[in-house]
Amino acid sequence: MSIKNYLAVDLGATSGRTIVASYDGTKVEMNELTRFKNPMIPLGGHLFWDLPALYNEIITAIKKTVDEGIKIESIGIDTWGCDFAFFGKDGQLLSLPYCYRDPHTDGAIDRYMKMHDKREVYDKTGIQFMDFNSLFQLDTLRHNGCTAFEHADKILFIPDALIYMLTGKAICEYTVASTSQMLNPNTGDLDKDLLMSIGLKREQFGPMTQPGTVIGSLTEQIREQTGIGEDVKVVAIAAHDTASAVAAVPAEDEEFAYLSCGTWSLMGIESKVPIITDESFRQNFTNEGGIEGTTRFLKNICGLWLFEQSRKEFKDVPEEIGPLTALCETTNFASIINPDDPSFAHPVSMTKAIDEYCEKTGQIAPKTPAEYIRCIYKSLAHRYTTIINLLQEMSPHPIKRLHVIGGGSKNKHLMQFTADALGMPVICGPTEGTALGNVLLQIKSEGLVKTLPEMRAIVANSVELKEYYPSNK
pLDDT tens figures, 408-419: 999 999 999 999
- Answer yes or no: do 75 and 125 share one domain: yes
Tell me the CA distances in angstroms from 388 to 269, 315, 429, 467, one per residue in order.
Answer: 10, 35, 19, 18
78 is an active site residue: no
For residue 290, is it left (φ>0), alpha (ψ between -120 and 50) or beta?
beta
> Same domain, yes or no, for 397 and 287?
yes
235 and 270, same domain (yes or no): no
Within a domain: residue 440?
no
Are residues 207 and 275 both part of a single domain?
no
| pLDDT attached to residue 65 | 97
Say yes or no: 236 and 261 in one domain: no
Choose the final residue of a domain: 241, 269, 304: 241
Instruction: Clarify whether residues 229 and 260 are in a common domain.
Output: no
Give residue 376's domain range: 251-428
Q: Specify whether 266 is located in the same domain as 224.
A: no
Helix/strand number for the chain, H first, E second: 18, 21
CA dihedral for 273, 279, 284, 285, sign (positive or negative): negative
Catalytic residue among 102, 160, 241, 420: 241
Point out which residues pair with 209 in neighbouring strands.
173
Low-confidence ranges of the chain (pLDDT < 50): none
Same domain, 62 and 154: yes
The last residue of one of the domains, among 241, 274, 302, is 241
Q: Using alpha carbons, select from 389, 394, 384, 395 the residue that is nearest to residue 468.
A: 384
pTM: 0.88
Q: Is residue 457 part of a domain?
A: no
pLDDT tens-digit map of 100-117: 999 999 999 999 999 999
Q: What was the pLDDT predicted at 472?
A: 67
Q: Do you find a cis peptide bond into 430, omega within 30 degrees of 0? A: yes
Instruction: Tell whether 435 is covered by a domain.
Output: no
Classify residue 473: in a domain, yes or no: no
